[in-house]
Amino acid sequence: MAKPQPMAAAAQQRLRALSNAHQEGVQRFSEHLREFRARGMMNDAQVEVIEEHLIRLGERGRNPANTGNLEDLFAYTLEDTKDVIRAFAQALADSVKVVPMDPEAKLNPPLRSVETGEVFSRVADLAQYNPGDQMLIAHTMVAFGDEEMLASSGALVRASRPDLDEAGVEREVAKMAVQSQHGPSSTFILARMHGLTLELAPLYRSAGYDEAQIADAQRFYDICAAFAPEWAPPFLDGVIPETQAFRHWRANYLESRAKLPMELIYQLSSDTLTNFLAGTLESGKWTDASVYFGQVDSPDAVPPALARIVNQYIAEHIALHDRPAEELVTAVSATLAPWGVGFEDGRAVPMGGAPTKSPLIRNQFEAARARKHSTAK
């Protein structure tokens, strides 16, 4: 394997102007990209497009606690599929997890109320939701509604498929947006999206799907909109609801999901599997989320909160992805141990004693608390 080459001098200078948190996440991701390049899995142009995207996330004030998850999504997908376009689609979709979101940010695809038919094409149209819920509901749509990020997607497609004309590039970018709408992989998001579906037809037509495929995908998201908010709390405790209403909804969900484009089915599953890998944990995604959404008020409370989140994902892995719990446990047990989370009888539990990562947990907690206070002002 050839030795990975360093980031260009001009890019390094811009990187040094960012916060330490952004620098650490971007540098780690960049080193991973250059390892892929040395292995022949990426070319120079692809690496440069993605590095530019990462630096711009810092320059535009995106959340640095999310960079490691972008790295894990990208690396997992590229290793598994050998497709750089699909891997970047996964990472780009999660690139705008900021609170509050720009009210003028466009949604691609738009959202629609199942009850009234009202279409929501901007974040501002979601004014009835609090800023945190706006982010959870809309972040993947905002990513592909952002002109700069769409340009990055096009640049990555051109670097990957020089044989395509501009119509072909636009079609591939639309496919990236199609395969990246991953709200249905999380009960936490499904509960907040109750009554909201996606307005899919224009995007799916741009991506080259036929009317039958469009109808199947629309039905899937309409079923997702029927997820009842009262089903979410059991998942937060790692328990699958046993009501007849939930079993009926799940049967419809799984039957409809099987008819989705293959890339989207893959994305829904891999979004779960990558959530507790090393990069995600190192950059502080879950500490950040626990402080903002989970009322965690001390570093010592982070491992128990993380264990609870893992159990939620195990229940979702079974209920939403129809996969065995052991698959997720096997994938994440080694990376979670240094963070104070172990497993007993298939469930995540906080381990005794101070976690190996205690100093980093403390730093992540302080940074997350500062961001939360800043957002509240």
Mind listing the pLDDT tens digit for each residue in 174-231? 999 999 998 898 999 999 999 999 999 999 999 999 999 999 999 999 999 999 999 9
The ranges assigned to domains in the chain are 275-377
Cα Rg of the chain (Å, integer): 20
Q: How many CA atoms lie within 13 A of 21 on its CB side?
A: 24
Q: Rounded to two decimals, what is the model's pTM? A: 0.92
pLDDT for 365: 95
* pLDDT score, position 269: 85
Spans of the chain, pLDDT less than 50: none
CA angle 232, 92, 272 (to 5 degrees): 35
What was the pLDDT predicted at 355?
Answer: 96
Residue 45: HSE in the Cβ half-sphere, 13 Å Cα cutoff: 12
Paired residues of 348 in beta bridges = 343
Tell me, what amino acid is at 160? S
Query: For residue 4, what pLDDT is reported?
Result: 65
> Nearest CA to 286 among 268, 265, 304?
304
